[in-house]
Amino acid sequence: MPSALELISAQKVPRLSASDHVAQTLKKAIVDGLLPAGEVLRQDEIAGHFHVSKIPVREALKHLEAKGLVTFLRNRGAVVASLSADEIDEYMEIRAMLEARAARLSVPLISEQTIEVARQHLDAFGQATDAGRWGELNWLFHSTLYAAAGRPILLAEIRSLYNKVERYVRALLSVTTEMPKTQHEHTEILGAFVRRDPDAAAELTRAHVLDAGASLVSYLNDHRSKGGNK
């Protein structure tokens, strides 16, 4: 049976450095669940699969450590990081504050054309059947709405928080009935942008993220009580 690394090995992408290529591929494997929490990431094995030296591999792993996806443990090396329910709860609480702020700032500045792009992402989200596609479209929907605020550092911080919890959100959406509620909340948020109501956009966004966080923590606690290791 092929290893996880054999399953995720990809063709070289000339526009990326070796370390960026390794980091992006490993990140996708972690978010998709191919590399589960606690999986040891052996640098020599990774280097062999990507046909690079161990130097760019270590750079890639340090990059993923900064994103909260990899942890370096004494006597074990790099492993796929695992988040506790309390950590996820706090990350989602911070996200709720930041995303509400981004929504409030964006509403007065967003164009009709950008709202239409967000609507297209929302429609595609509702039609998608793959958890990976849900994660991508969810980010495209929200980030399209927030980009009009003109706060690239704020958006980058929100994206960083997305990266930390995205694999858990995908797992939740793939095994529960959260999708209709999520789609309804997205529609309400978009409606607030259409009405140019910054207060409603901020509050609906805050409530949406906090509700997702509560569902995520509940799912994770239940999953782990049954022996799951994510």
pLDDT in tens, the chain (230 residues): 445 555 555 444 445 688 999 999 998 888 877 888 889 999 999 999 999 999 999 999 999 998 888 999 888 889 998 888 899 999 999 999 999 999 999 999 999 999 999 999 999 998 988 777 888 899 999 999 999 999 999 999 999 899 888 888 877 777 666 678 889 999 999 999 999 999 999 999 999 999 999 988 988 887 666 655 55
Rounded Cα–Cα distance for residues 68 and 47 (Å): 21
Query: Could you say which of 1.10.340.70, 3.30.70.580, 1.20.120.530, 1.10.3470.10 is the CATH number of the domain covering 85-225?
Result: 1.20.120.530
Predicted confidence at residue 10, as pLDDT, reads: 47
Residue 212 burial (CB count, 10 A): 22
Predicted confidence at residue 219, as pLDDT, reads: 81
Report the amino acid identity of residue 144.
Answer: T
Residue 110 DSSP one-character state: -
Predicted confidence at residue 226, as pLDDT, reads: 65
Q: 210 — phi, psi (to 5°)?
A: -65, -40
Predicted confidence at residue 102, as pLDDT, reads: 98
Rounded Cα–Cα distance for residues 41 and 18 (Å): 17
* Topology annotation, domain 4-80: Arc Repressor Mutant, subunit A (1.10.10)
Predicted confidence at residue 1, as pLDDT, reads: 41
Predicted confidence at residue 97, as pLDDT, reads: 98
Owner of token pair 């509400």: 100
Give the CA dihedral 162, 168, 174, 176, nearest 10 degrees.
-110
Predicted confidence at residue 7, as pLDDT, reads: 52
**Would you call 59 helix, strand, or coil by DSSP?**
helix
Burial of 188 from C-beta contacts in 10 A (0-12 / 13-18 / 19+): middle
Q: How many CA atoms lie within 13 A of 50 on its CB side?
A: 28
For the chain, give every domain's residue range. 4-80, 85-225
Predicted confidence at residue 4, as pLDDT, reads: 58
Distances 229 to 7, 84, 204 between C-alpha atoms, Å: 21, 11, 32
Predicted confidence at residue 152, as pLDDT, reads: 96
